[in-house]
Structure 1
Amino acid sequence: MKKIISLFLLLFIYNLSFSQELLATVQINSQQLGGSNQQAYKSLEKSLRDFINNTSWTGKKLQNFEKIKCNFAVVIAERDGNRFKGSIVIQAVRPVFNTSYESPLINLQDQRFAFEYVENENLVFNERQFSGKNLIDVISFYVYVILGYDADSFQSMGGTQWFSKAQQIAQNSQNRNYEGWNVINEPRSRTILINEIINPNWSQLRSTMYTYHRAGLDNLFNQDQTAAKKVIFDALMQLKTYENSFQQSFYFNLFLDNKSDEIFNVFNSGNNGGLVMNDLKQLMMTLSPKNSENKWNKWK
């Protein structure tokens, strides 16, 4: 009997240490509504945290240090019974090899987040159909976007299968009377984002994502940074192919918004191994002009 109990405990511990793929935090902010009854929001926060962290999104079992660190921050601006409306910020980071540094993968604010939720409701994901309430659909969509971004950073085009699942969720959510999914009259919608990521026209950016992270950042903290900086420099210069088409791209501009601080810091040391920094400077001023004064013009 003791052996059976011991075996059960070992299996239980194993399942705890090898749980699912994400290590997510969730915050629900309802300050705009006022009132003292916060139980529904606490319930929603716990339900979402459990849903994200305990759902098997890819079928893989990972240890904690292998999981993707991410954050979902929801601001509730309106409530009518079980109907909620507000915004959500999605953030995810990627560890850099041999360091404690975490590189930002995505930091996105979605202003069109409306959904229905009943306190203590059991959230279950079904990739084949729209949930009817939009909560599971939006969260699952961004989970797969995060998984895709992360996979693209470790393997060239490695996120395709997860981006495809996000695209399927977007297709299931069309014409369901919820904002944020339309491709017409909704700039920076979820569907526009995922369609651009999947579109072969933007495959060079996805290739850059891989080279930048895996061959560049993951080697940047070697004693000699010259080779890693050259890899990052060359990867970014490949984006020149988009200099006449980037303005209207949600995916491309999101990349630059997320990475501008990091890109600036990589080359701000002044020790750039003979790289022609003026070429990269001119390109970044074209692709991200809003950062010209506070970043690119400061490069030596």
Structure 2
Amino acid sequence: MRKLASLFFSVCVCTVALSQSIMADVKVDYSQVQSSNTQVYETLQRSLINFINSTKWTDDRLKPHERIEANFLILVSKRDNNRFTASIQVQSRRPVFNSTYYTPLLNLNDTNFTFEYTEYEELIFNERKFSGKNLTDVITYYVYLILGYDADSFSRDGGTEYFKTAQRISNFGQSSRFSGWSELDGLQSRTSLINNILKADNKTLRTLNYQYHRNGLDVMADNELRGKNAIGNALLQLEFYTRGSYAQFYPLEIFMTAKKDEIGKIFGGGQVSSVNVEKMKETFNSISPKNSSIWNNLKK
């Protein structure tokens, strides 16, 4: 597992109650905005950190090795009084059992993020209705997406209820005046993404997510070869997405973005596996050709 250490990404770990499942760092970048009043951005950043880390998102009491770490980067490009135009990058990772390694689960960039915020206002969220300001709605949608991806990595289809909560939030968002929610906003809109995650077409990817992490990474500390074989055999199931129209299937793109470097490290050397690496290369080059420089260097 030492060979994977270079994939770590750093996050600031906030002190939260043991019952909390997410430890998140939030960065609000306002370098693109010309303004003499920068305090509002610093206040917003502190408020979001407190909102995410102090909210009890789940009743599950996670063990230390199951805790999720997340990064939210909000890049503000424009401000008009209390209305902000921005993008938001969301990353999450979870610990690998019996090791010091953290594996990335989610890495996406949402470029269609506008919201309203007044300095020092209390950030609250009611999952039964839209807030009217789009800030806590988008943040909460991504929190439940993070929880869903994490739960899927520990148990088969374990994230379904979290994904359904994110879907309910997206349904409220679609009827709002804010863009980024509607399926008409494109295949990477929040509603398109969550609907595709819950579709039968994504079943293979969700099962693979469980097998890759629980049967693969989580056993590598005790048996590297067994874990490597399990990961490789799970990845071979991606052949499913070489058939049909999955070239723009966003859940698949999210998986490949999060995992490409990790896969390159796992199959870049070490113990020789029994995995059909040539088939794996063929599959990867078909579904993710932009990363061919990684795939072509894979070894057993």
**Alignment-derived partner of residue 129 in structure 1:** 129
**Alignment-derived partner of residue 278 in structure 1:** 278
The CA deviation string for residues 17-70 of structure 1, in whole angstroms up to 9 with x for no partner, is 424221000111111113332111111011111111111111345576643100
**Alignment-derived partner of residue 252 in structure 2:** 252
Show structure 2 runs of 5+ residues with no match.
Answer: 1-14
Aligned residues: 284
**Alignment-derived partner of residue 287 in structure 1:** 287
The CA deviation string for residues 54-112 of structure 1, in whole angstroms up to 9 with x for no partner, is 11111345576643100111011111111111111101001111211111000111101
Alignment of 1:116-155 (within 5 A): 116-155=116-155
**Alignment-derived partner of residue 232 in structure 1:** 231
Partners of 2:63 and 2:157 in 1: CA distance: 24
- The one-letter code of the counterpart of 2:149 is Y
Per the TM alignment, residue 185 of structure 1 is displaced from its structure 2 partner at its CA by: 4.0
Alignment of 1:127-276 (within 5 A): 127-222=127-222, 224-244=223-243, 245-269=245-269, 271-276=271-276
Please, which moves more after superposition, 187-196 or 160-169?
A: 187-196
Partners of 2:63 and 2:17 in 1: CA distance: 6
DSSP 3-state at the match of 1:180: coil
Per the TM alignment, residue 299 of structure 1 is displaced from its structure 2 partner at its CA by: 2.4
Asked if structure 2 preserves the Cα contact closer than 8 Å seen for 1:17 and 1:63, the reply is no
Partners of 2:219 and 2:259 in 1: CA distance: 17
Partners of 1:197 and 1:21 in 2: CA distance: 22
Asked if structure 2 preserves the Cα contact closer than 8 Å seen for 1:130 and 1:173, the reply is yes
The CA deviation string for residues 90-140 of structure 1, in whole angstroms up to 9 with x for no partner, is 010011112111110001111011000011111111001010000011000
Asked if structure 1 preserves the Cα contact closer than 8 Å seen for 2:187 and 2:248, the reply is no
Identity of aligned residues (%): 44
Per the TM alignment, residue 272 of structure 1 is displaced from its structure 2 partner at its CA by: 2.4
Please, which moves more after superposition, 116-125 or 264-273?
A: 264-273
Partners of 1:23 and 1:270 in 2: CA distance: 32
The CA deviation string for residues 129-158 of structure 1, in whole angstroms up to 9 with x for no partner, is 010000011000000000000000000000
The CA deviation string for residues 175-232 of structure 1, in whole angstroms up to 9 with x for no partner, is 312111010142311111100111122111100000000000111233x422111111
Partners of 2:126 and 2:218 in 1: CA distance: 36
1:26 matches 2:26 = yes
DSSP 3-state at the match of 2:174: coil
DSSP 3-state at the match of 2:126: coil
**Alignment-derived partner of residue 8 in structure 1:** none
Give the direction of change, closer, same or farther, for the CA distance of 1:28–1:131 in structure 2 (3 Å limit): same
- The one-letter code of the counterpart of 1:110 is D
Asked if structure 2 preserves the Cα contact closer than 8 Å seen for 1:246 and 1:253, the reply is no
Partners of 2:149 and 2:181 in 1: CA distance: 20
- The one-letter code of the counterpart of 1:124 is I
**Alignment-derived partner of residue 87 in structure 1:** 87
Give the direction of change, closer, same or farther, for the CA distance of 1:277–1:60 in structure 2 (3 Å limit): closer
1:71 matches 2:74 = no
Partners of 1:298 and 1:169 in 2: CA distance: 41
Asked if structure 1 preserves the Cα contact closer than 8 Å seen for 2:187 and 2:193, the reply is no
Partners of 1:122 and 1:64 in 2: CA distance: 30
Per the TM alignment, residue 169 of structure 1 is displaced from its structure 2 partner at its CA by: 0.1
Asked if structure 1 preserves the Cα contact closer than 8 Å seen for 2:144 and 2:163, the reply is yes
**Alignment-derived partner of residue 296 in structure 1:** 295
Q: TM-score, normalised by structure 1?
A: 0.90
